[in-house]
A and B are shown apart, each in its own frame.
Chain A
């Protein structure tokens, strides 16, 4: 099946610092989705990227799809405590989610 690696597994940042998680694949992806799961909650869809080199922004969140469509990143500018949770990438035409990056924001 699809091998999708997500790094880092954990990230602790001071509030106000930036954060980035990466999702890497060994094969070309048709599209990629990003989800956020708050502690004790369920995954919530954030965004879908389809085009090579695509960049989308949601307030302080910036999502990017690589030119070769083999990797993607989620960048959060000036983290806030509300950003705490685990961020998962999902390969759009597969059943597999990335391993997730757990973000802790220290006030």
Chain B
């Protein structure tokens, strides 16, 4: 597709389960970002990929969170042993070059609900 694609759009799971969120960036975009947005709140940076490497993981809230990117394209964000405070919308964005000065194009997000 032409835009950033995220799946699933909604995920409901029980506390303690693992979840995997997927992001398919715009073709040719080398930079990929994950953010978290709680209801009515701002954008919390999680991790940034340049190609397949993640030069900045400083935003990951705990060691339960991990992310990878393969082939310089699709990225997955994994949350292990989910907690209720993990409930939020997880947004993925991509930009054409690695420079942070490029506009970011966002997907529609995955709405994660932990019961």
Contact = CB atoms under 8 A, between A and B. Distances in A.
Given A43-B106, A44-B106, A95-B56, A30 B43 contact: no
Contact of A42 (B48, B56, B106): B106
Contact of B103 (A41, A45, A97, A99): A45
Given A42-B109, A88-B43, A95 B33 contact: yes
Given A42-B108, A94-B100, A97-B45, 7 more contacts: A30-B101, A35-B104, A42-B91, A43-B93, A43-B106, A95-B100, A100-B43
A102 B37 CA distance: 14
Interface of B: 33, 35, 40, 42-43, 45, 48, 56, 59, 91, 93, 99-101, 103-109
Given A93-B100, A95-B59, A43 B107 contact: no
Contacts of A66: none
Given A42-B108, A95-B48, A97-B42, A48 B103 contact: yes
29 contacts: A30-B101, A31-B101, A33-B103, A41-B108, A42-B91, A42-B106, A42-B107, A42-B108, A42-B109, A43-B91, A43-B104, A45-B103, A48-B103, A88-B42, A88-B43, A90-B104, A92-B101, A93-B99, A93-B100, A93-B101, A95-B48, A95-B56, A95-B59, A96-B45, A97-B35, A97-B42, A97-B43, A100-B42, A100-B43
A85 interface: no
Nearest to A45: B103
Contacts, number: 47
Given A42-B107, A42-B108, A48 B43 contact: no
Contacts of A43: 43, 91, 93, 104, 106
A41 B3 CA distance: 14
Contacts of B105: 45
Nearest to B46: A95
B104 to A, nearest CB: 7
